[in-house]
Chain A
Amino acid sequence: MTFVISSECIDNQDGSCIDVCPVDCIYEGERKNYINPVECIDCGACELVCPEVAIFPAKSVRSDATRQAFLEDNALFFTMTLPGRDEPLGNPGGARKVGPLETDTPLVSDWA
């Protein structure tokens, strides 16, 4: 299981989630933040602090098509070669090791 950051985060990145993540698995994109589902330990700290109420437990989003799409999109951020990068991000083991990524998945960059 993991948590998912949904559309509410787009262009509203507060970043409190990044501050509280004990394994530093929330990565900062250009318009949105993304949770690495492999590195997430499922503690739920991010969900509690998000002022945009953008973060949900993965198992709770099945009935919501948008959030379900963002669950898949969160994983995609780490497995696809993002625009402007040479290879997939993978599981770097900490967002502070890579810094802000200044890019997004197509779903997010095209979000109106």
Chain B
Amino acid sequence: MTAAADAAPADIVVVGAGPAGLWAAYCAGFRGLSVIVVDSHAEPGGQVAALYPNKKIYDIAGLPGVTGATLVSNLLEQAAPYEPRYLLGRRATSLHTGDRTGELAVELEDGTRLECSAVILASGVGGIEPRPLPVGHEWLGRGVSYTMADPSTYDGLDVVVVGGGDSAIDWALEALPHARSVTVVHRRRAFRAHAANVRRATDGGARLMTDCEIVAVDGDAVVRTVTLRARTGEVHSLRADAVVGALGLISDLGPLTTWGLEMHDRRIRVDTSMRTNLSGVFAIGDAAWYPGKVALMSTGFGDAATAANNAAVLIDPEAILAPGHSTDRSSEPVQEGAAS
């Protein structure tokens, strides 16, 4: 998509492509509204997709057991007929508010300004990003990375992976056939990764160091060495061309806290229409708080319907709040024997 097409205005900008945000895209689409969904994460699905895609979820109404991955793909499919625009992998950095039409806009980190008539914040517990390394973050792109590149990139290099979970060991295993050396540094006493994989890594020649922290990253134009400190106090330096942070994901509310929203602890206070204190701005799902709020996906879906339909009335005061029944608008031929 071109930058100009990205920036075309929409009726509604949804911030957050988790379950609540995706359902808001459906609800708004059903009302005939155009929708842009933005998310800092490159993949849709929010927490469910990033943190536990393969765990079965049992408390979604009408779905006796569904994995996060399936739920997300179903939500995308459900909204698809209304062609929401997805701008993923870009953080929403600021919100411009105003009383006059055309003044409401969400701005993304790359400067794209998305003008809209309403904003629905479905930002959950915040943007999901790799947990930064304790040191060496400034070498990002010059030897330090937070994802595994194509393994052949590591041909002949000294690779240091930092972390103790499955991704740390998986990445070490991927690098092993290519790298000159692979060292995995973990600050705790034992690896959390699957024992069989830890053994494969050791058997494959990886050096695993527990109770050991990375305390410095040094180099010239690129990374050359790392300094490690063991719990015993022993410090030593290691040649390193590539340092891969595998410290898991972490979420952070980020810039949203500076947008002038009235908060309740770390959630956005809303009324019974999901309206925030800012005109034209709604909040739903885990991002929202109202008295009696229960933070579950099932209530988040309800929040999404409430917000999208109230936004429809805000955008067109002649519109009726109730959206009508989806059964009246079936886009698919009615199957024989199925209820209409």
- A residues near B, CB below 8 A? 14-16, 19-24, 38-39, 41-43, 45, 49, 51, 91, 93-94
Within 8 Å of chain A (Cβ to Cβ): is B276? no
B250 to A23, Cβ gap below 8 A? Answer: yes
B190 to A22, Cβ gap below 8 A? Answer: no
A16 to B192, Cβ gap below 8 A? Answer: yes
- Give residues 178-218 of B contacting A (CB, 8 Å): 187-190, 192
B286 to A20, Cβ gap below 8 A? Answer: no
A22 to B249, Cβ gap below 8 A? Answer: yes
A-B interface, 8 closest residue pairs, ranked by CB to CB distance from nearest: A38-B265, A49-B192, A16-B188, A41-B125, A23-B125, A23-B251, A22-B251, A24-B250
Q: Within the complex, which residue of A14, A21, A38 is in contact with B189, where a contact is CB–CB below 8 Å?
A: A14
A91 to B265, Cβ gap below 8 A? Answer: yes
Within 8 Å of chain A (Cβ to Cβ): is B290? no
Over the window 228-265 of chain B, the binary record of Cβ atoms lying under 8 Å from chain A Cβ atoms (1 yes, 0 no) is 00000000000000000001111111000000000001
Report the interface size class on chain B: 20 to 34
| Interchain Cβ contacts under 8 Å between A and B, 15 examples | A14-B188, A20-B248, A22-B51, A22-B125, A22-B248, A22-B249, A23-B251, A24-B250, A38-B265, A41-B47, A41-B125, A41-B286, A43-B51, A45-B51, A93-B266
Over the window 160-184 of chain B, the binary record of Cβ atoms lying under 8 Å from chain A Cβ atoms (1 yes, 0 no) is 0001110000000000000000000
B266 to A91, Cβ gap below 8 A? Answer: yes
Within 8 Å of chain A (Cβ to Cβ): is B52? yes
Which A residues are in CB contact (< 8 Å) with B286? 41
Which B residues are in CB contact (< 8 Å) with A39? 265-266
Q: Residue of A at shortest CB range from B50?
A: A22
B164 to A16, Cβ gap below 8 A? Answer: yes
Which A residues are in CB contact (< 8 Å) with B120? none
Which B residues are in CB contact (< 8 Å) with A20? 165, 192, 248
Within 8 Å of chain A (Cβ to Cβ): is B22? no
A94 to B247, Cβ gap below 8 A? Answer: no
Other A-B pairs, 19, CB within 8 Å; known A19-B247, A22-B250, A22-B251: A15-B187, A15-B188, A16-B190, A19-B164, A19-B188, A19-B248, A20-B165, A21-B250, A22-B47, A22-B125, A22-B128, A22-B249, A38-B265, A38-B266, A41-B47, A42-B295, A49-B192, A91-B265, A94-B250
Shortest beta-carbon distance from B171 to chain A in Å: 16
Which B residues are in CB contact (< 8 Å) with A38? 265-266
Shortest beta-carbon distance from A75 to chain B in Å: 13
Shortest beta-carbon distance from A46 to chain B in Å: 11
A24 to B164, CA, bound (A): 16
Greatest chain B CB density within 10 A among A38, A39, A41 is at: A41
Which B residues are in CB contact (< 8 Å) with A22? 47, 51, 125, 128, 248-251
Which A residues are in CB contact (< 8 Å) with B164? 16, 19
Which B residues are in CB contact (< 8 Å) with A94? 250, 252
Which B residues are in CB contact (< 8 Å) with A16? 164, 188, 190, 192
A38 to B266, CA, bound (A): 8
Q: Residue of B at shortest CB range from A15?
A: B188
Q: Residue of B at shortest CB range from A43?
A: B51
Which B residues are in CB contact (< 8 Å) with A21? 250
Greatest chain B CB density within 10 A among A20, A21, A22 is at: A22
Q: Residue of A at shortest CB range from B296?
A: A42
Shortest beta-carbon distance from B223 to chain A in Å: 22
Which A residues are in CB contact (< 8 Å) with B192? 16, 19-20, 49
Which B residues are in CB contact (< 8 Å) with A41? 47, 125, 286, 295
